[in-house]
Structures are given as structure tokens and as C-alpha cells.
Chain A
Amino acid sequence: MNKVLMSGNNIIGEAAIRAGCLFYAGYPITPQNELTEYMAEHMRKADGGVFIQSESEIAAINMIAGASATGVRVMTSSSSPGISLKQEGISSMAACELPGIIVNIMRGGPGLGNILPSQGDYFQATRGGGHGDYRTIVYAPGTCQELADLTMDAFDLADKYRTPVMILADGMMGQMMEPVIFKKPKPRQYSEKFMLRGAGTGKSKFIRGLYLDPIDSEEHNWKLARKYDVITKNETLHEEHNIEDAQMVIVAYGTAARIAKGAIKRLRDQGMKVGLFRPITLWPFPELKLRALSAKIKNFLVFEMSTGQMLDDVRLALQGYANIEFHGRPGGAVPTPAELANVIARLCDKND
């Protein structure tokens, strides 16, 4: 297997194509344009592959929903404000149980914000951000290799559970270049009975999220909830780094986790025992694994490139069993490992 040096946005595109994605619709928005352009170049080369530069992010999410209904693997991508536009479509795909991948290369917000990397969309990704009682599986890759692996895994998960899956990365990961190996994709398992391809000589079927009858509607919601319980049980992912003897654990994901690893190296060199708990699925959040750590570790620091969003999930997970601090830089500011190390060192001094 060959290592290829590619930038994050392109890696996602290549991984999607190798996973058998045959339909991509997207609208340009910095900092993910390379991904849309990659798909423009390569999607049409795939046999049966369709690329459409849609008129808006809204059109794109609805296009992938339509293509998904016919049974093909689909993907769209955007960045923060564009993902806001897609929320109704994502809710609709969850309601109609349509698989699909939505890539968010996060940028500074709120509003137009800026085009710098940020992690301000955690709430949007994990708490809806569309209407209704549904959940979106959220993968938070931390390296370019994970961009490649998790993009492929996302397609499998989306098919397995017939639900939208989000890849939550940020502007830094989108631009970053690292050597990656594209693994062999798993063979696709998706039943024809879910595909809308014309009734043929049989019964017609319809796909919808509208349930006017309250009993039907409630049962549909519980059915989705049961599915999300199964996903929570089976698909939660996280990484523990330098945890065994840690007296303080940083909780961070994505680019923030990379920065944290750099900070941990500095702190360990100075004799401070700090570790990292890195959620890889943000939904389902690895709360049980995090809570288990609090039996021995009583000091956690949540580190995000935001004013504190995953912080809520950490509080929920730890349930008051440990002390939680927070350090964050919102609005596109990218902290350095040295800065984070200083913050933690000061906290450790305070605690001693």
C-alpha cells in the first residue's frame, strides 16, 4: 500500500471516491473549496459518478438526499455557515432514514465569522442542529490518516444505520498535508428494499418524514431513538493518550487534540503528568469511558477552539465526580502547544 502526501480536503475527496461515493453536490465556501474542486475533477471520472456544483448549500443537501434515495453513496461538504443552511435537509434525511455524508470544515463564527480554523460548531453538530428528535453521527478526525479512514468508515456507518453522518474537521485539517495510506474499502451492504428506483411491476413505495397521525409520529420518533441507542452502544470511539499515570487529563478533539499532544510533551518534559482523552465520535460522545477515568483522575481540562461547547458534554459525563477547567480560543484563533502548556502549568501550580 502506497503512502500519498495530500492535503486534508483532498484526502476526504479521495477517500470518498474509493469508498464508492457516486454522487457529490456542493457549493464553494472557504476553507473547503479544495474538496469541492477535487470532486469536480474526479467524481465525473468514476463510472456513473455525478458531480453538481449546486446553486446553494441548501440545494446540495437536498440533491444528496434525492440521490441517496435511489441507493447510491452520497456526500456533500461545506463550512460552518453553509452547514447551518443544510440543517433542514439533514433533519429530513434523518427522518426519512437516508444515508449520506456531510463534511463540515469548520471556520470562525458566528455569522460570517472568518475563514480561520475553529471548533465553534460542536453544538450544531451534536445538538441537532436541525429541528426534531434526531441525532447525527459525528466523526472528529484528528490526523490526516483519520480523515482518510473515518471518511471511509462514515459511508459504512451511514449505510448500516440509514442515517446521515457528519465529518467534523476544521480549516487547519483541511489544508494540512500529511502522508496517508488509503485502506481497502469494505464491500457495501445496503438492501435494495430501501432504494427508490421505480415500482417496476410491483408495489409502489414512498419515502417520507411526514407523519400526520400522532400515534404514527410518536412511534416513528421512538423507532429512531432506539436506533440511536444501538449506535451509542456500538459505535462510540475515543483515544486515550498518556492516561495511565496522569494527574490531569485534557479533553480535546480534532486540531485541539493535536495541540494538546504538543502541550503534553512539553509538560511531561517538565515532570508534569498530563494526559489526553480524545473523543473521536462526538456523537455518540464517549461519556461512559470518560466517567470511568474519574474514579482515579480528579482534574480535567477541556480544551476547545471555541468558548466552550464540548465542555457541556464533559460536565454531563463527569457528573461532578471531578474538577473541570476550561481553556478555549474562539473565532478562528489557533492556540499553540506552548500556550496550552503554560495554562496547564499554572493550573497545576494552583492545585498543588
Chain B
Amino acid sequence: MAKTVFKRPKSLKENIFHYCPGCGHSIVHRLVAEVIDEMDIRGITIGVPPAGCAVLAYNYFDVDMIEAPHGRGPAMATAIKRSLPDRVVFSYQGDGDLAAIGIAESIHAANRGENITVIFINNACYGMTGGQMAPTTILKQRTTTSPAGRHETLDGYPVNVSEIFSQLKGSTYIERCIVNSPAGVNKTKKAIKKAFKCQVDGLGFSMVEILSLCPTNWKMTTIDSCKWMDEVMIKEFPLGVFKDTIAAAKKTAEAT
């Protein structure tokens, strides 16, 4: 008797994704939903979608969700979590939302050690608006607003979000992952689960930065996008755990 080893998670609605072919959002939505299923937290989870490609995330996640103005997700998530401390609150954001317009809200939520989880999708450009330069666009990368390639003196350097956030004393768990391979996808799921668990255990601010494919705006095939991420993106945005004080936070929590 064959048993099912893979099927659509329950916390994902049956709607067809509006995302482009090969988009990392689709993969990550599924991973987050799988974690919500496995942790059995669907009924107590509240999510905050970004302004960006994932603005319609409420059409996919079968959890309570509230739209936030561009970049303000962490501020809303902060307030929701402080008002309902026993719910699981996550903010799902892209490059502009988290690292440009919303950088203050992101940094300060982390700095205050808000017990929320941020899922940060880094695709090195602004997807929804047509592929403009993002804070995470890599030097020399061509986008619609850096047509000659990102230039350090004219456009500044890419922003390394995980590195910066790991410096904040308020943050507990920061990891950067990638979804361009099965190994990457599996590791990403583990990181997402660890982040949600960090929140459920009341141990502080967790963020998973996920390097994600954007074949449409990179003007590449899906497979070439996967290769570009290995050849170029990882060099600017190395993978790994940038902060993990979960154990220490647990000790402190148990002591009090």
C-alpha cells in the first residue's frame, strides 16, 4: 500500500499561485505552510504580507492575515504580538519592504527583541514593480533602474541584512538560506521551523533571510537563475547562521 510522502500542506489554500514560473515565493509559501502544519499552529497564527509580489499572500496562507502598508509589517507584527502574546505572528517581506522603506521598522523590531518571526525573501531586485534596483542588488547587476549595472559610487553597495541584524542585541536567531536546490530547500525549511519554534518558546526575534529565484526580472531561465545564485549571489550573501542565542535565551527564560 503506497503512502503519500508529499502533498499540498493543509495551511495553503487550493488557489493557483499568481507568481511567475520558478518563483521562490511559491516554494517558500509551501515551506512556511508545511511548518505551520507540522507545528499545528494554524489556528493561532497571524501573518502580515508585504507590499510586493507577495501582497496577495492572504490568497494562499490559510491563516488570519492583515495587509500592511509598504515596509510597515514589523511594526504591525510588533503590535499584534504585544496585544496577543500567545499567538504566532510572522511578517513576510521582500527587499524593498524590509531593507529600503521598512528598514527602520525592521531594525527596531529586531532591536526591541520582539518575539516575532520575519521571513525575508531576498531576490536582489524589486519584483512586483518590474525589476528595479533593490538594496540587495549586487554590484554590476543590471536592473531597470541600474541599466548600466549597480555602481558603488552612484548606487551604493548591497545591504547585507542578516549580518546587520545579527549585530543587534535584541535579535535571537538570524539565518540566511537559499532555495535553488533540494538541499537548499530542505535547509530553508529547517531554518523556518527553528525560527517559528524560537517564537513559540518565547525566545525573541527570529529572521530567516531566503535567497530566492526571480527568473522573470533577472531575465534568465529558471535553471540559469539557480546557477546565478550559486555563482554570484552566495558570494555577496553567504549562507549560514549569523546569530543563534536560542540556548542562552532558553536558559535565561528557565531561570526566571
The interface of chain A, by Cβ under 8 A from chain B, is: 22-23, 25, 50, 52, 54-56, 58-60, 62-67, 69-70, 72, 88-89, 92, 96, 196-201, 204-210
Contacts and interface: CB of A to CB of B under 8 A. Distances in A.
A204 B42 CA distance: 9
A67 B79 contact: yes
B105 A92 contact: no
Nearest to B67: A208
B69 A88 contact: yes
Contacts of A197: 46, 64, 84, 87
Q: Is the contact region of chain A dominated by helix, strand, or loop, or is it mixed?
A: mixed
B80 A70 contact: yes
A59 B75 contact: yes
Contacts of A206: 58, 64-67
Interface in B98-114: 104-105, 107-108, 112
B64 A204 contact: yes
Contact of A63 (B46, B67, B79, B107): B79
Residue of A54, A70, A92 with most chain B CB atoms under a 10 A cut-off: A70
B132 interface: no
B68 interface: yes
B196 to A, nearest CB: 14
Contact of B43 (A70, A88, A198): A198
Given A64-B79, A69-B80, A197-B87, A55 B104 contact: yes
Nearest to A89: B69
Interface residues of B toward A: which range?
Answer: 20 to 34
A67 B80 contact: yes
A45 to B, nearest CB: 16
Interface of B: 42-46, 48, 55-56, 58, 61-69, 72, 75-80, 82-84, 87, 104-105, 107-108, 112
A199 B63 contact: yes
B82 A52 contact: yes
A317 B149 CA distance: 57
17 contacts: A50-B83, A52-B79, A54-B108, A55-B108, A62-B68, A62-B79, A65-B76, A66-B79, A67-B79, A92-B69, A198-B43, A198-B84, A198-B87, A204-B63, A205-B64, A207-B67, A210-B55
Contact of B75 (A63, A198, A208): A63
Contacts of A50: 79, 82-83
B67 A96 contact: yes
B69 A196 contact: no
Contacts of B82: 23, 50, 52, 67
B101 to A, nearest CB: 9
Contacts of B79: 23, 25, 50, 52, 62-67, 70
Contacts of B104: 55-56, 58-59
What 6 A-B pairs come out closest when comparing CB atoms?
A: A66-B76, A66-B79, A206-B58, A62-B72, A208-B67, A67-B79
A340 to B, nearest CB: 42
B199 to A, nearest CB: 14
Nearest to A63: B79
Contacts of B42: 199, 204
B83 A58 contact: no
A25 B63 CA distance: 26
A55 B77 CA distance: 14
A199 B105 CA distance: 26
B84 A62 contact: no
B43 A66 contact: no
Contacts of A56: 104
Contact of B65 (A25, A200, A201, A204): A204
A62 B64 contact: no
A208 B50 CA distance: 11
Contacts of B43: 198-201
Contacts of A59: 72, 75, 104-105, 108
Contact of B62 (A22, A55, A199, A210): A199
Nearest to B57: A206
Residue of A60, A62, A199 with most chain B CB atoms under a 10 A cut-off: A62
Given A23-B82, A58-B72, A70-B83, 18 more contacts: A23-B83, A25-B79, A54-B75, A54-B108, A58-B104, A58-B105, A59-B108, A62-B76, A62-B79, A65-B79, A67-B80, A198-B44, A198-B84, A199-B42, A199-B63, A204-B63, A206-B67, A210-B56
B78 A52 contact: yes
Given A23-B79, A52-B78, A207 B66 contact: yes
Nearest to A48: B83
A198 B77 CA distance: 13
A23 B78 CA distance: 12
Nearest to A51: B82
Nearest to B48: A66
Contacts of B61: 204
A105 B94 CA distance: 36
A66 B69 contact: no
Nearest to B78: A63
A197 to B, nearest CB: 6
B32 to A, nearest CB: 14
B86 to A, nearest CB: 9
A196 B112 CA distance: 24
Contacts of A67: 79-80, 82-83
A94 B42 CA distance: 28
A350 B90 CA distance: 67
A113 B66 CA distance: 36
